[in-house]
Structure 1
């Protein structure tokens, strides 16, 4: 198939958030109330998020990074501890561990799913290991059965970095119910549901949820809403060192509106992903996403890997596509290659991670992408083979 005779005139981005008139009006409505910080809309977002996920408690925070940080702290992770996580992830995964004073320890991945390989976890467990921070990479659920089995053998806490995984399913359950003690979501503009910035922690533990709510607001014993509605003078206390990790009511109002659109977002992304897979699976130099039978992908990103002679040409292929107004991204960074986390320990210990980060890329996929834009991308990729 030849490249379209009429090329696109504007750059096709990797991702684009969908923000409509309803989101705009929701923010205006909040502004007019005069309550713009964490308040009644944030509480409403938490309730509606819990109802969607099917979890007991949701705690809204300022980002997924702060969500992970609080989840680790609430699990008792601190200085001298080690937490196992994949290196193939955005650096925030490791940073959240480092912020607690603990040390991130990297396990290698399964190259088919780009998720932590349960069979490689025990080789990096030490007497200092206290937890496993599992990433559901680009929205594809990790092998939680295998990971939880390892954690049970070694008495380790499991926390899910579900930054990309809203709407994804594992064994028929939505990610976030959660499978570990807590799951943490991101609402960054690259994610399926966005509030600009923002995050959410889900848990089934009432005491954890209560502590998380205190910690996100300087460990204040009384929330702003409680003090505002009090009919007699109240004085709060601060019983431990907390943080300012609050979500604003403006963000929450956008999140509530986005949540009502989520079913459409997921349906569209899965449709576009299926079109990519059907059209590109015949290209011998591309490996399509592999989705295990017990998982349902939300396709937060459509990730492909170059193999054979094309594997060494990944960056050149990205440049060729960019020159044709198709934006791509290297698939996922390898944290162990970045200066804060470099160590001789990882030089040869993560071969699958290294291969994935060097040979994979992310293709454009977003709610508003048209079939004609996608056809142009597909035909451009097919032309690279000729």
Structure 2
């Protein structure tokens, strides 16, 4: 399906062992660097041939018709919502267990952000949780594939179709993940658009960067327009055409363009995606085997039939049983050379959302219960076997 060459990487014999193990980081090798240097020596740095080449490779990889790359996934989300043309005063529903960008894209388009609670096993929103909050003002759903594990998109898509609501998949965590039917997240069979992130802690990186895939020609044209000031030079889209110099601003757009430098890195990274996915799965299997018998922690669940490319490894920890706060656990692990993070502070608990929309603690009890126990451990393909064992032994020591 993807047409990408197979890349094999030996993860067990890397020359340099990490002294400090962050919760996530990019893996840039000499081939990546050489590819970027070649672009530096070419005639293009910004919107050149590498951008369209990267977009085509992403679309082919996920089996979507079109892809538009952006300067970040936040920019991609902003424009994906804007491309739908929803009138001010509408609303959208997303998960509260996500980064704020998943909801901010609604507010930036003058729509009311509404939240659905999560499934306590997968940590994803479900169709039933969404249905509880949908009202006539809701015009778009933004399910988030948390940690790379796909939501039940078949059921969510059915709900959206029944209610005549658009769907944008927030797949910032999920490049390389497959649905239970075996097809790839991003093919848009269950949605109008899918958004990916290429931030350095994600599975592949362009530095900062993001992309939207779609099977709609009209949405594709709109995304391209919004990405670059609302301006087009496409002869087929111009309303007037007095000559070759001519361009038109047809909408109020943004400067959300990605560069050739970033996209040539993205092309190289995409070639290694399947190898990165295999290594992440190896690390998770080792973690699960080691932590499954440890009291006071609970390993993450994988939905039956899904094939996720996990972006995060989140343990649920019983801090009260440990007699330690989460801050104390994080500091003790940090002293042992192991970085951790919390994914995520519920969006509805953020001061701006509470002050602007009236949300309060207690509104989404399942997401709040998850948050109180969540701790993300290091997970990235550059980790050596020694790194993985260090994390395991450190967590065991701190948990007690």
2:331 to 300, 319, 336: 319
**SS where residue 126 of structure 1 aligns?**
coil
2:341 to 294, 315, 329: 329
What are the within-5 Å matches in structure 2 for residues 304-315 of structure 1?
304-307=315-318, 309-310=321-322, 313-315=325-327
Q: Is residue 173 from structure 1 mapped to residue 183 from structure 2 by the alignment?
A: yes
Which shifted more, 315-324 or 259-268?
315-324
1:67 to 72, 76, 90: 76
1:36 to 31, 40, 45: 45
**SS where residue 249 of structure 2 aligns?**
coil
1:363 to 367, 377, 392: 377
CA 1:131–1:291 in 2, change beyond 3 Å: closer, same or farther? same
- Tell me what 1:149 maps to: 158
- Tell me what 1:105 maps to: 114
Q: Distance in 1 between matches of 2:275 and 2:77?
A: 28
What is the Cα deviation at residue 208 of structure 1?
Answer: 1.0
**SS where residue 288 of structure 2 aligns?**
helix
**SS where residue 231 of structure 2 aligns?**
coil
- Tell me what 2:276 maps to: 265
Q: Is residue 85 from structure 1 mapped to residue 103 from structure 2 by the alignment?
A: no
Q: Deviations over 1:334-353 (max 9, x none)?
A: 11111110155443220011
- Tell me what 2:169 maps to: 160
Q: How many residues align?
A: 373
2:145 to 125, 136, 144: 136
Contact 2:21 2:378 in 1 (8 A): yes
1:212 to 223, 247, 251: 223
Q: Deviations over 1:232-280 (max 9, x none)?
A: 7331111121111111010001001101111111111111111101111
Q: Distance in 1 between matches of 2:38 and 2:382?
A: 26
Unaligned segments of structure 1, at least 5 residues: 1-7, 227-231
Q: Is residue 124 from structure 1 mapped to residue 133 from structure 2 by the alignment?
A: yes
CA 1:75–1:28 in 2, change beyond 3 Å: closer, same or farther? same
Contact 1:311 1:359 in 2 (8 A): no
- Tell me what 1:4 maps to: none
Q: Deviations over 1:12-38 (max 9, x none)?
A: 111120011112112111121221111
Contact 1:62 1:247 in 2 (8 A): yes
What is the Cα deviation at residue 45 of structure 1?
Answer: 0.4
The root-mean-square deviation of aligned C-alpha atoms, in Å, is 1.9
- Tell me what 2:65 maps to: 56
- Tell me what 1:229 maps to: none
What is the Cα deviation at residue 311 of structure 1?
Answer: 9.0
Contact 1:183 1:201 in 2 (8 A): yes
Contact 2:322 2:399 in 1 (8 A): no
What are the within-5 Å matches in structure 2 for residues 268-307 of structure 1?
268-307=279-318
- Tell me what 2:6 maps to: none
**SS where residue 252 of structure 2 aligns?**
coil
- Tell me what 1:5 maps to: none
Unaligned segments of structure 2, at least 5 residues: 1-16, 238-242
Q: Which runs of 4+ in 1 moved over 4 A?
A: none
Q: Distance in 1 between matches of 2:121 and 2:265?
A: 35
TM-score normalised by length of structure 2: 0.89
**SS where residue 70 of structure 1 aligns?**
helix
What is the Cα deviation at residue 77 of structure 1?
Answer: 2.6
**SS where residue 383 of structure 1 aligns?**
helix
- Tell me what 1:235 maps to: 246
**SS where residue 196 of structure 2 aligns?**
strand
Contact 2:333 2:398 in 1 (8 A): no
Q: Deviations over 1:264-297 (max 9, x none)?
A: 1111111111110111111121111111112112
Q: Is residue 20 from structure 1 mapped to residue 32 from structure 2 by the alignment?
A: no
Q: Distance in 2 between matches of 1:210 and 1:92?
A: 23
Contact 2:73 2:172 in 1 (8 A): yes
Q: Deviations over 1:157-181 (max 9, x none)?
A: 1110110100011121110001210
**SS where residue 248 of structure 2 aligns?**
coil
Q: Distance in 2 between matches of 1:86 and 1:304?
A: 19
- Tell me what 1:197 maps to: 208
